[in-house]
Amino acid sequence: MVAQLTSSERQYCAITLILMVIVGVAMAALGKSDPLGVHGVIVIVYSGVLLYLVLSAFYGPEPQEDRQASYYDDPIKVGIALSMVWAVFGMFMGVWVASQLAWPNLAFDAAWSTFGRLRPTHTTGVIFGFGGNALIATSFHVVQRTSRARLAGQISPWFVLFGFNLFCLLAVSGYLIGVTQSKEYAEAEWYADLWLVIVWVAYFILYIRTLARRKEPHIYVANWYYLAFILVVAVLHIVNNLAIPVSWGHAKSYTIWAGVQDAMVQWWYGHNAVAFFLTSGFLGMLYYYLPVRAGRPIFSYRLSILSFWGITFFYIWVGSHHLHYTALPHWVQNLGMTFSVMLLVPSWASAGNALLTLNGAWHKVRDDATLRFMFVAAVFYGLATFEGSFLAIRPVNSLSHYTDWTIGHVHAGALGWVALITFGSIYTLVPALWKRPAMYSATLVEVHFWLALAGTLIYVFAMWNSGIIQGLMWRTYTEDGTLTYSFVDTLVAMYPYYIARAFGGLLFLLGAIVACYNIWMTARGAPAVAVVGDGPAQSDAAPAPAE
Amino acid sequence: MDVSHDTLVALAKSWGLFYLIAFAVAVVIYAYRPANRARFNAAKKDILEQDDRPWR
């Protein structure tokens, strides 16, 4: 890592990290026994460890080769590793909270391990930790390859990567000690939010500067999706997190938005987190890694442009569908509902474009589990976007809202689409990054695929059943006009589905652990069997060298 | 500056509609302009090239 930097770059790294340690000391001093003080200590330790890594290699030999002659892959490798660590953590927390719903004693009667504190560690862990790191890593890869230019910076990719992970760490550790803004997918408090703004602006500048260096005249469409992700997430994050801290020494803050405006801003953010964090960037992956893996150009480039602008301009208006039957003005609800239904057109255009790209390469989909990950991801993308448009229709929403159907919908998207396209991309990317002919074991990719697919299907079907039963029980009336079922009756009805859901999640987690092992062995240099073309390794019996 | 609710609704229902239509027309023209055909075809094929070095 440090070996690739010149001595002046190492000095800049050290100065940045020393400044971060000073900020950590200030936080600890101002915060004292407040959670802010705890986070100050975390910032000191985090920056201190990185500073140690820089200083221990500080006087090593400088890079001799011409760095501009090769792509900058080190930050991508570290990003993939961090992404997989967060995947296992976030999915484990998901299995844990799912199990708590079936067996409440698993909270162990402690404050930090209650459902309310653990659940955001799951959502932040998988969305930002796993998804965010995967997006940063793949975006660094795609922008370099499609621009035929090296990243426009030696230090800033590291700053973006480690800065983003510091944000994730502050967020997750905060939830466990009771720090939260109580905003869905934006629970981290003001100081972590401010830090993320700095990191994100650095990310945006790095991406734009790299594009400006490009040798390819046209900016490939995948970059448009990544850029929409970076730009819009910055806007969403800033507007939704505008807040006044109680004091400089306090972790707690209060949002500047009041009442129904707060709800609208939150769900404008919340749904666009789905749109621009969980869709746009992952479509960037789809438009690069799927054609590359299939060895075929995208079916229609024009369609990809039309669906890009459709997705970008429709998504931004749909957030209000989260607030049907509330104090939000009726016309704003209608606006969200209408745009949600319209959104199906560009969404299905993207899904169809992906599937038609595979038309003619179905034998590869059959034989290559990596390509099958991406194929199934495109199918789930089509399914989840149809379901999303459907659930946004107000009368449908009256049945589905507040039930497990919503959870099922989110996971059809998060597991079936986001995670599967990520794994497909990672399995394409990892051998290329570490200069191996293929993954260490094609069989383990296959095992992962079936674990992930089985886990997703069990999860989603359990939640569909549970959610619809729940919704129907809530609206069943007796002849006297009173509710037929008490709330506890609905819980009893959902019990078997909660167990099934936890089991589905467990299968998905096991798949991610298998992936970690496979990636580790590939990176460690197990002699993979030479394979020509895109197919999976024909033999995976090659043992790893003993180390 | 104080924008009333009615002003906002009026803006959304008039300007909001027209700018989206205008934008959609612009995007369709860009995507289907014959002059862009060669550029798009090159872009979608170029990513499949396997040379793994930046161009100088």
Percent of chain A predicted with pLDDT > 90: 94
Range of the domain at B39: 19-49
How much is the average pLDDT of A159-176? 98
Tokens 């609208």 label which residue? A264
Q: Which two tokens stand for residue B48?
A: 């499949």
Domain contains B6: no
Q: Could B40 and A150 be called an inter-chain contact, meaning their C-beta atoms sit closer than 8 Å?
A: no
**Digit-coded pLDDT (tens) for A51-93:** 999 999 999 999 888 888 999 999 999 999 999 999 999 999 9
pLDDT > 90 fraction of chain B, expressed in percent and rounded? 52
d(CA A160, CA A198): 9
Q: Residue A334's pLDDT is what?
A: 94
> CA A485 to CA A493: how far, in whole Å?
10
Residue B35 lies in a domain: yes
Q: What share of chain B is helix, strand, coil (3-state, %, to 5)?
A: 70, 0, 30
Q: Which of B27, B32, B47 sits opposite A292 (nearest CB)?
A: B47
One-letter identity of residue A293 = R
Among the listed residues A504, A329, A335, the one whose alpha carbon sits nearest the alpha carbon of residue A404: A504
Beta bridge partners of A254: A244
CB atoms within 10 A of CB A369: 23
Q: By mean pLDDT, which of A3-7, A339-343, A473-477, A534-538 is the weakest?
A: A534-538
Distance, in Å, from the CA atom of A380 to the CA atom of A373, rounded to the nearest integer, reads 11
Identify whether B24 is part of a domain: yes
Full DSSP string of A171-194: HHHHHHTT-----TT--S-HHHHH
Q: Does some domain include residue B54?
A: no
Instruction: Render pLDDT for A395-436 as a digit per residue (tens, 0 to 9).
Output: 999 999 999 999 999 999 999 999 999 999 999 999 999 999
Question: Rounded to 5 degrees, what are φ and ψ at A476?
Answer: -95, 125
ipTM: 0.92
The predicted-structure confidence for A497-534, as pLDDT tens digits, reads as follows 999 999 999 999 999 999 999 999 999 985 544 444 44
**Mean pLDDT over residues B39-44, rounded?**
94
Is B3 within a domain?
no
Question: B-contacting residues of A 281-320, CB under 8 Å?
Answer: 288, 291-292, 295-298, 301-302, 305-306, 309, 313
B43 inside domain: yes
Report pLDDT for B3: 81
- What's the domain count of chain B? 1
Chain B residues whose beta carbon lies within 8 Å of the beta carbon of residue A297: 44-45, 47-48
Q: Which of A150, A288, A305 sits opposite B47 (nearest CB)?
A: A288
In a domain, B9, yes or no: no
pLDDT band for position A539 (50/70/90)?
A: very low
Q: How far apart are CA A415 and CA A409, in angstroms?
A: 10
Give mean pLDDT, residues A458-478: 97
- Asked if pLDDT for residue A452 goes beyond 80, the answer is yes
Beta bridge partners of A36: none
Q: Is B3 on the interface with A (CB under 8 A)?
A: no
Q: Tell me which H or E stretch contains A254.
A: strand A253-255
Query: Cβ distance A293 to A371 under 8 Å?
Result: yes
- Whether residue B2 is contained in a domain is answered as no
Range 429-468 of A in CB contact (< 8 A) with B = 432
